Structure 1
Amino acid sequence: MADTQQEFADFLVDSNVVEFGDFTLKSGRKSPYFFNFGKLSSAYLLNKTAWFYARFITEKKLSPDIIFGPAYKGTPLGVAISLSLQRDFNTEISYSFNRKEKKSYGDGGTIVGSPLANKKIVTVDDVLTSGMTVDDSIRLIREEVGIPTAYIVALDRQERGNSGVDSALCEAENRLNINIHSITTISHILKNLAKSPTNVEQVKKIQDYLTDFGVEG
């Protein structure tokens, strides 16, 4: 599992998904880095990312019935992961995603793809910062009578949540009574960045940020 975490972190850095600058996060915090999942927009990068998720799902033996990709970034990701599970890991799994607004005509409803009712659902998303997006997805799945068994994000920023003590990930797990996994963490990203002396300034800024807002471990 440790190999998967570092390999994925290396891939994300090499793909320039980690951007440096001055960013305002959904939580309102000012961050010296941003995880720009939108850069994984080529077929190769999306396929490779989906393969890491599929590998993680297989290694963890999560065995969902459906991969759910919340709109918008999770939608192509969820489809690509389902394809990778079938193609690369010989595992047939359906997929679903949601509309941002409920459709009142045609097929109607909020869910597109496989119905969620009474199915084991693994939700896939990009990054966990405050945990607010997780609440919306799990609430929707439960409203559709689905069974949320796990939530997977690419990166855990390892930041404190609203309590100021526990991580946002742990807070969301406890609040929603669901297992939340991250394929990699900002610690693994920092390990990659520290290999090059040209990244000294960026590493220092991220370390200072984590001193203010991060959690241990």
Structure 2
Amino acid sequence: MSTAVHKQLGQDFVAFAHAAGVLRFGAFTTKAGRQSPYFFNAGLFDDGAKLLRLAQFYAQRLLASGLQFDMIFGPAYKGITLAAAVSMELARLGHNKPYAYNRKEAKDHGEGGTLVGAPVRGRVLVIDDVISAGTSVRESIAMIQGAGATACGVAIALDRQEKAAENGKELPWSAVQYVEQQLKLPVVAIAGLTDLLQYLNTTGDAEVSAHAAAVQAYRDRYGV
């Protein structure tokens, strides 16, 4: 994917997320206790049309990235729906990939265990909405390795591109950088904070673009 096409995909995704009510502007408190001028809630991709469009964005970005993987793993809970939807869209495009996900609690009857779906084997792509602290990724890697497979990358919808926080302490790297540098896994994101800012500065909607200064200030303070 060329840089120009990648940027356009990011812009299109931000516009879609905003129109769907998934991306909102205002005053929000993040898990790290920061006051953020925007909020991204992937749980609001809550009907068939939105989920289908979301899966199309993931699939397009993944195929363009050149990342090679044999199957998809969706960590509970949001990752379950994402794994199923993206595998369906990839199959529609001629790239049929099995998928699996985990239960939060092990099942002691029926097929048992914590993993559901296709056997976890080969190169496994972890799919989620965002990476907040890398905890979910580490847990997914442990489950994938426990099944005898290898985690080969992570796909997310939005990279917040901001410094991670741990125990109230600000870290010099983002959660995505942690996954890439410390866990040695490539991260494929549909869009990032850079795309969000560009959208705000070019939207042409005065009400929406009015949030650009606050988002830029937030990036200046917490960005990486």
The two structures share one fold, judged by TM-score above 0.5: yes
Following the alignment from structure 2 to structure 1, what is the Cα–Cα distance between the partners of residues 58 and 47? 17
Which of 116, 121, 132 lines up with 2:124 in the alignment?
121
Does 1:30 find its partner at 2:35? Answer: yes
Aligned length: 213
Aligned to 1:189: 196
Runs of 4+ in 1 over 3 A off after TM superposition: none
1:171 to 172, 175, 178: 178
C-alpha distance in 2, partners of 1:139/1:20?
A: 36
Structure 2 residue 194 is matched with structure 1 residue 155: no
Contact 2:124 2:150 (C-alpha < 8 Å) held by counterparts: yes
Q: For 1:87-98, what aligned pairs fall within 5 Å after superposition?
A: 87=92, 89-98=93-102
Residue-by-residue CA offset, 1:74-93 (whole Å, 9 max, x unaligned) = 11111010000111x11111
SS in 2 for 1:127: coil
Q: What residue ranges of structure 1 are gaps of 5+ in the alignment?
A: none
Cα shift at 1:200: 4.1
User: Distance between the aligned counterparts of 1:57 and 1:137, measured in 2?
Assistant: 19
Deviations 1:63-119 (A, max 9, x none): 3221111111111111010000111x11111011110111122211111101113x2
Match for 2:102: what amino acid?
A: N
Letter in 2 for 1:160: K
Counterpart in the other structure of 2:139? 136
Q: Secondary structure at the match of 1:102?
A: strand
Q: C-alpha separation between the residues in 2 aligned to 1:109 and 1:210?
A: 42
What is the RMSD of the two structures over their aligned residues, measured on CA atoms?
1.7
How far off is 1:10 after superposition? 2.0
CA contact (8 A) 1:158 1:185 kept: yes
Tell me the amino acid that sits aligned with residue 102 of structure 1. Answer: A
